[in-house]
Amino acid sequence: MKISNVLGFLGLALTLAVAPVQAAHHEEAKAGTIVDVAASVDTFSTLVAAVQAAGLVETLSSEGPFTVFAPTNEAFAALPAGTLDALLADPEQLAGILTLHVVSGKALAADVVGLTEVTTVAGKVLPISTADGVTVGGVNVIQTDVMASNGVIHVIDAVILP
């Protein structure tokens, strides 16, 4: 009984925390794809540039649905010096990294917290933990359920690497 109360409280807290994000992105979700929504938010400018450099715009603008664990600009900036520039210069390697952040299907926050792992479109299995916040592949999920016409974005605080 105690565990269900804790889980219920965490679910409520998560819902309350993401409600403003959902409201803020509601119009964008109607207006565009995952790429469009990401491009409309300054926090994702590095991600959008990376998606363009990797040649993934068309794929992530397709029908989907997709779940994208989207690193922020700060997440990319935290990579070791020179890493981002090297990746941007190597579209194939960059695409391999970016597809570690994409899951087929639309997994909302309520779905993700009920899972123990997800398989990315790159074929890598990422563990999910809810022990101390929500992590995917060892990376913190800091914002959830940013809706797009072809899926959902969950914001993460680091880049998932192989």
pLDDT in tens, 61-93: 999 999 999 999 999 999 999 999 999 999 999
- Which whole number is the average pLDDT over 87-112? 96
45-55 confidence digits (pLDDT tens): 999 999 999 99
Collapsing DSSP to helix, strand or coil, 137 comes out as coil
Task: Delineate the domains of the chain, giving CATH numbers in brackets.
Answer: 2-156 (2.30.180.10)
Q: How confident is the model at residue 4 (pLDDT cuts 50, 70, 90)?
A: very low
Q: What percent of the chain has pLDDT over 70?
A: 81
Please give the backbone phi and psi of residue 146, each rounded to the nearest 5 degrees, phi first. Answer: -85, 110
Asked if residues 157 and 140 have their Cβ atoms less than 8 Å apart, the reply is yes
Within the chain, residue ranges assigned H as helices are 2-31, 34-39, 45-53, 57-60, 73-77, 83-88, 91-98, 109-112
pLDDT at 27: 40
Does the structure show a pLDDT above 90 at 14?
Answer: no
Q: How far apart are CA 136 and CA 116, in angstroms?
A: 9
Q: Dump pLDDT digits (tens) for 109-152.
A: 999 888 999 999 999 999 999 998 999 999 999 999 999 999 99
**pLDDT of 22:** 45
- Measured between alpha carbons, how far is 34 from 147 in angstroms, rounded to an integer? 8
Q: pTM for the whole thing?
A: 0.81
Between residues 21 and 93, the one the model is more confident about = 93
Q: Of 18-27, 54-63, 129-138, which range is least confident?
A: 18-27
List for the chain the helix, strand, coil content (%; round to 5): 50, 25, 30
Could you give the CA distance from residue 36 to residue 130 in angstroms, rounded to a whole number? 30
State the chain's maximal CA–CA distance in angstroms: 53
